[in-house]
Every structure is written in structure tokens, then in C-alpha cells.
Amino acid sequence: MPKISIIIRSKNEEKWIGHCLESVFSQKQNDFEVILVDNDSSDNTVDVALRFPVSQIVKVDHFLPGLAINNGIRACSGEYIACLSAHCVPKGDDWLCKLTENLDENVNVAGVYGRQLPVSFTEATDKRDLLIAFGEDKRIQIKDYFFHNANSMIRRTIWEKFPFDEKVTNIEDRVWGKQVIENGYNLVYEPKASVFHHHGLHQGNNPERAKGVISVIETVDHELINELPRSMQPEHSHVDAIIPIKDGDIKDSMHAELLGNLVIELKASKYIKDIYIISSEQSLAQNNSTEFIDRNTISNIDNLSLDQLMKTSLSMIEKKNHYPDSLMYLSHDYLFRPKKLFDELISEQKCNGYDCVFPGLIDYSHYWSKNESSDYQQNDASMNSREKRSPNYQALYGLGCLTASWLVRTGKMIDGKIGILPLHQARYSMRRREADYAWIYDKLKGYEPAFNFSHDT
């Protein structure tokens, strides 16, 4: 069997590289080497990649697509060279087999490229482009030189004759395809060698027109275009919960009860993996059977912002060789939470591609603020009825703020693509520390109204 090398090109792909490599190293055909060609990533792309048995990291400072692939091939030893973008995730464990079969079967085939599928949260224009460009019929291309290096495999012997153009800024794959076709070789499109690719082929398309096209395609291929890679599905996620508790926060039996109730709800979640209590009192973690992070081991903790505390917590967790894909921040002193809130937040994040998602209390009130001249101005000057106004959302981070780990590492909890889970009942905003709500808690703690996570406002 010919030796296989997989060249993966990356630039700031911390969000995707783990999913990509997890699928690559889950292939049935497992005799291969992986070369990561990284374009001077400023995030944790390389660190995440090194959690996998990557054979070699090739650094490039000035990126040109053909040059990057050529440098990767020069560093590898394979006879068959698979090319993959770091944000592409092979769909099945036979992805590599399906590419390889096409080179094994026909010596006149210079290269084979596979199908690219959208994920559930891919934008409409990109879904349209991917589903139109990459169909279900396999084809041998004798004159058509379309080729795509986001998901492909070529012969090294052909590359030695026809290396990729190192000067072009894009479509190096089609330039190469034209060259090999004109020299009598064939190209193959293999739809069974498919990858998930969250963005499309073209930019600047009219969004409204694209939505019209994609709405028809979604009717026909609903299941196909709403899929997610296995590692990105809620049931395969790794989410850790973080509950920071300052000294003196557990002031009475009610605070202790609220913390206990929160831990019970977290343990009932289908998707939460580990629960960490950050406190000076280890007994809080022991009594609630959770993981413990000692506040006293975190330098200058009382002066850290919540962003900084979450970043520090993630670093401490990762030093134990645990790598959550997201962290959920929680405050123990909220009196009420909707049932199954945590799993709903995780499902929202995974299925919609949010980097951060949190509950928001829907509020149609009129608000005023001061501008730079200290004059008051309205957020909405209309006096229309609430049915005709857009609502505000009161952020309830402490109920459960879920943030992707790659974003936490940047020192931010709230950024990127943000989702808000609408809540309609003011009771969910009540906190023990802000008012004497004990009597309300005693009255309502046994009452749980029917709740539907409706996203209609």
C-alpha cells in the first residue's frame, strides 16, 4: 500500500483544528503521517494540534496557498498526498479510504477531490454554494479542471512534474488542475469522501437571493444540511461548569441550599462533564461532590475580572490534561432557573455555531441613558405598543453563560458570534444578594411553571 501523508493548512484555526484532527485520527485507514503547515497562527492552533500525534509542524510566515502545500509536501514522505484545510472536518471514518481508492484504481488519475458539506449553522449563501458545487454524482473529469484543495489527494509523482504555483494568491488548485488535464491526466470528484466545511466558495453574494435558493434546497436535503461533525454535537461535547465563590458568599443556610440545588441541576445535565467550585473552603466542594479549585492558589484573585478568572480557571484545568471545548460560568445565588436550562444552552451553542450563549430576560421597557454631553437619550423614541417594538434583553450571565474555550483563552467571555436564550419570567432574574427575596423563594421554590424555550419574541 502506498504511504500516505496528510497536509493540513492552518491559520488561527484553534476553533476547528481539534475537530479536524479528531476525525482524521479516527479513520479506518490509519497508516499515515500528518504534517501541519501553519501560517504564523497567533492563537492556540498549534498547541491544540500537538495534543494529537502530528508528525511535523511546518511554519510559514508569508502565506501563499501553493507555496504552503509545496512546503508541506517537501517535508513529508508519502506517495499519496492528501490536502485538507484545518477548518474542514472529515464526515466519516472512511474519508481517507474513499480518496485513496480512486488513485489505486486508475494510474491516469492525477488527483481526486471530495465533497464539501455545510454544517447546520452555515450561512445561507455558503450553504447554497456548497450544495450546488458539490453534488452526489461521482465523475471523472477529462476536460473539466475544477479541483479543490480543501479536501483532496494527489500523486507525489504527478506533483514532482507539476508542483503547485507558488505565486498565485488563490485558486492554486484549479491552476494545477488545468495543467494536469492539459497534459493528458484525469481528475476525479468523489462525493463519498466528504468533509464538513462551514463556509462556502464565494463571497459577496446577495443574502436575500441566497436565502431563496437555500430554502428550496433545505426542503429536499434537510437532514444533510443540518448535520454536524460528531465531536461538535451536543452529546459529544465536553463542557465544564465553573462556580466561583468569594469568601463570605455562603452566609446562611439559604445560600448553601441554592448552591446545593445548582450542583444537583448541573449533575442532571446530559452534557455537563465536570463541575468546579472555586473557593477557599474545600468543604463546599466535598459536601457537593464536585471538583475543587482553591482560591488561594490564584494570584491576585480579588482583583481579577470575571474574564480573567475564567481564563485562569481554564488554564488550571488544561494543566490536568483535561480540555473542555466550552466553559459555563454560573453564580449560585440565583433563586430560580428554568429546568433543563444548561442542556438548552449547550444545544443552542452547538447547533447554531455560537461562540457564546446566555439567557436574556425579554424586556420591552423604555430606557434612557446619558450621552457624551450628559444629555438624556432614549433607546427607542417610539411610543408604539410592545407588539411593534423590538425587545431589549437583560443579560443573566450568572444563570449560565456558556463560552467556547478558544474565546476564554483570549481573556473574553462575551464576544464572537453571540446567542441569547430568551426568558419571559422576571423570577429568573432574582438574586439572593440583591434583595431580601427569601419570602418569595419560600413561596415559589416548589412551583415550576411549564416552560418552553421559545425563541419568538
Domain end call among 217, 232, 247: 232
- Number of Cβ within 10 Å of residue 393's Cβ equals 16
Residues 273 and 360 in one domain: yes
The predicted pLDDT at position 332 comes to 92
Residues 104 and 84 in one domain: yes
Distance CA 163, CA 232 (A): 35
The predicted pLDDT at position 213 comes to 46
- Bridge partners of 423, per DSSP, are 361
- Reading the block at residue 112, the C-alpha cell is 481526486
Residues 228 and 247 in one domain: no
The predicted pLDDT at position 442 comes to 58
Residue 134's nearest CA partner among 111, 118, 155, 154 is 118
Strand-strand pairing, 239-244 and 88-90: unpaired
Domain end call among 183, 208, 232: 232
The predicted pLDDT at position 307 comes to 95
The predicted pLDDT at position 192 comes to 97
Q: Which residue has the cell 419560600?
A: 442
* 384 assigned to some structural domain: yes
Total of domains in the chain: 2
Residues 325 and 397 in one domain: yes
- Bridge partners of 32, per DSSP, are 4
Determine contact, residues 241/272, Cβ cutoff 8 Å.
yes
Residues 433 and 370 in one domain: yes
Kindly give, in sequence order, each residue whose CB lies less than 8 Å from that of residue 305, ignoring residues fewer than 6 positions away: none
Q: Looking at residue 164, what DSSP letter applies?
A: P
* 137 assigned to some structural domain: yes
* 154 assigned to some structural domain: yes
This prediction's pTM: 0.81
End-to-end CA distance of the chain: 59
Residues 222 and 328 in one domain: no
CA angle 435, 438, 442 (to 5 degrees): 150
Distance CA 322, CA 104 (A): 40
Query: What's the CATH code of the domain at 199?
Result: 3.90.550.10
Alpha helices in 245-332 (DSSP H): 253-268, 282-288, 306-318
| Element at 107 (helix H, strand E) | none
- Reading the block at residue 300, the C-alpha cell is 491576585
pLDDT by position in tens, the chain (length 457): 789 999 999 999 999 999 999 999 999 998 999 999 999 999 999 999 999 999 999 999 888 899 999 999 999 999 999 999 999 999 999 999 999 999 998 899 999 999 999 998 888 888 888 999 999 999 999 999 999 999 999 999 999 999 999 888 888 999 999 999 999 999 999 999 999 998 866 544 555 645 554 554 455 455 555 678 888 889 988 999 999 999 888 877 888 889 999 999 999 999 999 999 999 999 999 999 999 999 999 999 989 999 999 999 999 999 999 999 999 999 998 988 998 999 999 999 998 999 999 999 998 888 888 888 878 887 777 777 777 778 889 999 999 999 999 999 999 999 999 999 999 988 898 887 665 666 565 555 655 655 555 554 3
Strand-strand pairing, 80-85 and 151-155: antiparallel
The predicted pLDDT at position 279 comes to 94
Q: Which domain holds residue 95?
A: 4-232
Distance CA 99, CA 231 (A): 22
* 264 assigned to some structural domain: yes
* 365 assigned to some structural domain: yes
* 339 assigned to some structural domain: yes
What Rg do the C-alpha atoms of the chain give, in angstroms? 26
Q: Which pairs count as long-range contacts for 158-161, CB under 8 Å and 24+ apart, including other chains?
A: 158/110, 158/111, 158/185, 159/73, 159/81
Distance CA 171, CA 37 (A): 18
* 228 assigned to some structural domain: yes
